[in-house]
Amino acid sequence: MQKQAQQHLKSLNEALDVLAKYTLPVDTRGALLLTRQRLKQFERSLQSPKQDGLQAVYRIAQSLGTTLNLDEVLNHVMDAVIELTGAERGFLTLVDEDTGQLSLQVARNIARETLAHADMQVSRTVIQSVVEKGEGVVTTDAQSDPRFAGQESVIFYDLRSILCAPLKVRGKIIGVIYVDNRAKSGIFGRENLDLLSVFAAQAAVAIENARLYTQTDQALAARVKELETLSQIDHDLNAHLDFERVLGLVRNWATKSTDGLESWVFISGEDVDALMLADGPMDGATPSPALSDVASFLDKPTPQTLSPQDKNITYLIAPLLHAGKTVGALAISREKDFSEVEIQFVQRLASRAATSIANNRLYQAVEQANRSKSQFLAIVTHELRIPLTSIKGYTDLILSGSAGAEVTDLQRQFLGVIRKNVNRMADLIADLADISRIERGILKLDVEDVSIIQCLQDTLDSLRHKIEERNQTLVVKKSDIPPVEADPKRVVQILTNLISNAWKYTPDGGMITIAVFEQKDTVRIDIQDTGIGISPEDQTKLFSQFFRSENQAVRDQNGWGLGLNVTKQLVEMLAGEIGFTSQLGEGSTFWFTLPLTHLAKNEGETDE
């Protein structure tokens, strides 16, 4: 129609051109000009359907970019194609990236099942040809179209006119758009295909973007899920120091996260050949993989699958590598194969399991070393205490003159040095013996209702003369304090350690202030001094065994660096707390609390 009209227009214009060559009266010339203008307008109006179509394409294409939801984009595209082409029905298929096959995504007025029917054979052939050639197809009458002649199904074919265009992104076909019309309701022309192709190019980009976005979104969600699982695994593995428990957890996670049947953990000693099964299911439904098979995978950097011919299962065997060393292997059984994603996950799980197993072994080794150290301390302190007691006894005996001959001044001086050093040794042995008992869990506490004021009195009785010797001022702030629940001997030991430190590390003429007061359900004792104070760096090391500050003022005093460690452990064993504040060069305050007896607590509650 359009073509014919354009042909006529062309002839008319040529005729007008011929007329224009003649000298014509002004009126006729005017009429000629007007006719030319009218013809031009008519010509433009003939072109406008296509222009309208293009405008519609751009309008619809613009709205495609408003969503990245793949389903929404596909439906939008399908509706737009029906609108643009005026088709009765249609569908959109996309190439499945895994299988390479086309899979139906959306359809209008065609049921999914219908597509497999014999009368859709022509449609399928059209789609096939579009995919193969990468170009759109328009059939005006499929029955008479030579491209589809010979199709048996054409008899069923309801004289359909088909329009089909590829969805291409960077030259690659990602899908196909198909629409058709019964011949009587409208036959598609070339211009419909042009329009559809223009739209398909833009639709393909929108679909690809949505697909990529969905993939990234899914991949991200999967990664986040995996990280959550791994962090849960880390948490579980690090929460337990019991070796058996760690092995059980590793197996549990391995089976659970791969949907496997069963899992086994193999451990190798220092010698990789000494591989052995460390943990596996009690009454396993599947046999464990052969030790020799597992051993042959130990030097592989990544998990490997093993499918024994005589068994209907596949094993995934992951070496447990820690710091470049194989500590064992993790094996999982399953009826079907493991996916690449699962293998990668198991590799991550194996690396965590290996670290946890290595740490656990280290912990066991340290524990063992600690036990040996405590036993060694117990023996040494016991063996030293006896000779020391006798050295001390004989020294005192000689000094008192009871040993016979008179002691000269020089000898008295030497004996004094011996006594002082024996006392130092005795202090060290007492502290070491306490540490050994605490670590072995055999320190006995005789807990009773204790008057903290009485304990303080006893402590000060033995320390007061030392404090006076150095001209230090002692201030004690106390009021009526209810009894605490504690071992009086240990309370005196705690007070002696802390007040001795205040005395040792406060220069002559300084001040020691002791305050005893109730705090919630406890009694708190503060021992404040105006001494040398503790540097922020030293503060982080306080309470650790054998720590002594490098400060010369500290080195000038006797000590082994064990007092605070023992003190802290005793306070905590008595259900109290200990702490300190300190300013270098200004002084320190050490404090500790002890729980009030139940009696005192109950009275407090009824009073309220």
Nearer to ligand ADP, 347 or 535 (CB): 535
Residue nearest to ligand ADP (CB): 559
Measure the CA–CA gap between 412 and 418, rounded to whole angstroms.
10
Measure the CA–CA gap between 234 and 580, rounded to whole angstroms.
35
Nearest approach, Cβ of 241 to ligand ADP (angstroms)?
Answer: 28
Measure the CA–CA gap between 97 and 343, rounded to whole angstroms.
21
CA-only gyration radius of the chain, Å: 48
Nearer to ligand ADP, 317 or 492 (CB): 492
Measure the CA–CA gap between 592 and 594, rounded to whole angstroms.
7
Nearer to ligand ADP, 398 or 474 (CB): 474
**Under 8 Å between Cβ of 198 and 81:** no
**Under 8 Å between Cβ of 250 and 257:** no
Cα dist. 417→259, 312, 558 in Å? 75, 83, 14
Would you give the DSSP letter of residue 247? H
Alpha helices in 287-339 (DSSP H): 291-297
Alpha helices in 239-286 (DSSP H): 243-258
Nearest approach, Cβ of 557 to ligand ADP (angstroms)?
Answer: 7
Nearer to ligand ADP, 74 or 532 (CB): 532
Nearest approach, Cβ of 498 to ligand ADP (angstroms)?
Answer: 8
Nearer to ligand ADP, 510 or 595 (CB): 510
Nearest approach, Cβ of 445 to ligand ADP (angstroms)?
Answer: 21
Among candidate residues 533, 488, 526, the one with its CA nearest the CA of residue 510:
533
Nearest approach, Cβ of 462 to ligand ADP (angstroms)?
Answer: 17
**Where on the chain is the footprint of ligand ADP (CB under 6 A)?**
497, 501-502, 505, 529, 531-532, 534, 542, 547-549, 554, 559-565, 588
Among candidate residues 358, 137, 322, 375, the one with its CA nearest the CA of residue 247:
358
Nearest approach, Cβ of 516 to ligand ADP (angstroms)?
Answer: 18
**Under 8 Å between Cβ of 95 and 174:** yes
Measure the CA–CA gap between 247 and 279, rounded to whole angstroms.
6
Measure the CA–CA gap between 219 and 227, rounded to whole angstroms.
12
Nearer to ligand ADP, 531 or 595 (CB): 531
Nearer to ligand ADP, 260 or 531 (CB): 531
Question: Residue 212 — φ and ψ, nearest 5°?
Answer: -60, -45
Which residue's entry shows tokens 């265009």?
Answer: 165
Nearest approach, Cβ of 437 to ligand ADP (angstroms)?
Answer: 18
Nearest approach, Cβ of 238 to ligand ADP (angstroms)?
Answer: 31
Nearer to ligand ADP, 115 or 554 (CB): 554
Nearer to ligand ADP, 136 or 531 (CB): 531
Nearest approach, Cβ of 352 to ligand ADP (angstroms)?
Answer: 39
